Amino acid sequence: AQSVSQHNHHVILSEAASLELGCNYSYGGTVNLFWYVQYPGQHLQLLLKYFSGDPLVKGIKGFEAEFIKSKFSFNLRKPSVQWSDTAEYFCAVTSTGGFKTIFGAGTRLFVKA
C-alpha cells in the first residue's frame, strides 16, 4: 500500500535559519509529488509540485524541493525562514494518472521572530 512518511512532526526555528523537512514515500510506480501548506486560519494550499523533468522544483515563497528517485524522497527546503512561514506542511503522493492522493501526517513549523 502507498504511504508517506514525514520525519518531523514539530519543528521550531529562529528567523533566518535554514529549513529542511523530510518526506519519504512508498510506492512502486510513477508518482506525482506535492507539498501543501496550511497557514493558521487558512485553507490548505499547494506549495509546490513535481510531475517530471528537473528533480529540483521551486515553489512559492522561496521554497524548493528535491525529488530523489533512488531514495523515494521529496524533501522540502528553504534557505532562510521567516516568521510568516509558521504553518503546517504536508507531503503528498499521487500515482501518475491516479485518483487518490496519500498525505503524510504533517509537520508543524514554528518560526520564532
Partner 1 sequence: SQTIHQWPATLVQPVGSPLSLECTVEGTSNPNLYWYRQAAGRGLQLLFYSVGIGQISSEVPQNLSASRPQDRQFILSSKKLLLSDSGFYLCAAGRGGFEQFFGPGTRLTVL
Q: Is 93 left (phi over 0), alpha (psi -120 to 50) or beta?
A: beta
Among 1, 40, 97, 113, binds partner 1 (CB under 8 A): 97
Q: Under the criterion CB under 8 A, does residue 103 sit at the interface with partner 1?
A: yes
Q: Which stretch binds partner 1 (CB under 8 A): 13-21, 58-66, 72-80, 93-101?
A: 93-101
* Cβ at position 29, least distance to partner 1 in Å: 11
Reading the block at residue 104, the C-alpha cell is: 503524510
* Phi, psi (rounded to 5 degrees) for 59: -120, -160
Contacts with partner 1: how many residues (CB under 8 A)?
Answer: 26
Q: Under the criterion CB under 8 A, does residue 17 sit at the interface with partner 1?
A: no
How many helices and strands, by DSSP H and E, does the chain display?
0, 12
Q: Under the criterion CB under 8 A, does residue 99 sit at the interface with partner 1?
A: yes
Q: Under the criterion CB under 8 A, does residue 32 sit at the interface with partner 1?
A: yes
Return the sign of the alpha-carbon dihedral for residues 5, 13, 66, 50: positive
Q: Under the criterion CB under 8 A, does residue 56 sit at the interface with partner 1?
A: no
The residues, any chain, with a CB within 8 Å of residue 45's CB and separated by 6 or more, are 36, 37, 38
Binding site for partner 1 (CB under 8 A): 4, 6, 9, 31-32, 34, 43-46, 49, 51, 90, 94-106
